Amino acid sequence: VAVALSHAAILEESMRARDKLMEQNIALDLARREAEMAIRARNDFLAVMNHEMRIPMNAIIALASLLLETDLTPEQRLMVETILKSSNLLAALINDVLDLSRLEDGSFELENEVFNLHAVFKE
């Protein structure tokens, strides 16, 4: 009788552990799906924002470049060069953020390109 009660208690505890494990697996699966949806939403947002930011940034870069071709005082030239340099840095940052979102969602593709490694290290 004692052995049967012991087996029953072990079986009951095993069933409780199995049920708890199943509940935890369901909760983990739900959390994983929610995290994946949040990542997709963030990546979609970043892609849209990058596009929305890239258009005016390209306009600033183009107009600053055109402005450099006009007659400017040395002080004005320095200011326009600063605008151009800062705009290019910001455009690179925007591209990096977009690349990161593409990398995370699996749509990032590498480009095969020849480049000067020595020049890259000099930069």
What CATH number is given to the structural domain containing 8?
1.10.287.130
Q: Mind listing the pLDDT tens digit for each residue in 18-74?
A: 999 999 999 999 999 999 999 888 888 887 887 788 889 999 999 999 999 999 999
What total of structural domains would you count in the chain? 1
Query: Quick check: 101 pLDDT over 80?
Result: no
Q: Do residues 87 and 64 lie in contact, with contact meaning Cβ atoms separated by under 8 Å?
A: yes
The residue among 120, 119, 45, 54 whose CA lies nearest residue 87 is: 54
Q: How far is CA 34 from the centre of its chain?
A: 17
Supply the range of the domain harboring residue 93: 2-110
Please report whether residue 119 resides in a domain: no
3-state helix, strand, coil in the chain (%, to 5): 85, 0, 15
Please report whether residue 97 resides in a domain: yes
pTM listed for this prediction: 0.58
Please report whether residue 122 resides in a domain: no
The residue among 57, 56, 48 whose CA lies nearest residue 97 is: 48
Please report whether residue 59 resides in a domain: yes
User: Quick one: pLDDT at residue 1?
Assistant: 67
User: Quick one: pLDDT at residue 32?
Assistant: 97
Please report whether residue 41 resides in a domain: yes
